[in-house]
Amino acid sequence: MDLPVMPPVKPMLAKSVARIPPDMQYEAKWDGFRAIVFRDGAEVEVGSRTGKSLTRYFPELVAALRERLPERCVVDGEIVIALGGRLDFDALTERIHPAESRVRTLAERNPASFVTFDVLALADESLVDVPLADRRALLTMALSGVTPPVHVA
């Protein structure tokens, strides 16, 4: 893997405020695992907010990300599992299991989705110094027409 932004990357974390300051953007709080996805061709790495790899715990999601994301990119988002019309954090935590067979069974039973809300690199360009509003426009354009289980927030 050789991207302009390489793992590990620790994402910016949410801060609680009483009201949103003028000219600021915000994202909804998703009940999932924050993750940064690195895709370079066939290689996909899913990193947690602490920099640890989540790749082995979400094989169905890795396959979907490989099919649906741009060929070379780094995107920030949230891994979620929806059951019964609601996000189910407990089902998500069950996926962090040492046995690969258990992970695969749970992946088939309760597949995960990835909700993107930022792009940190696209093709050969790092976007980390680009304003968020511009990155958001690039993300929306790069993922226009994306299909589940990958979503744009």
Q: Which residues pair with 118 in a beta bridge?
A: 76
Q: Is 29 labeled as catalytic in the residue annotation?
A: yes
Q: DSSP letter for 53, please.
A: B
**107 contacts: CB under 8 Å, gap ≥ 6:** 58, 59, 60, 61, 95
Query: Which tokens sit at 108?
Result: 């088939």
The counts of H helices and E strands in the chain are 4, 8
Q: Cα(78)–Cα(98) distance, rounded to whole angstroms? A: 22
* Look-up of token digits 């069974």: 105
Residues recognised as catalytic: 29
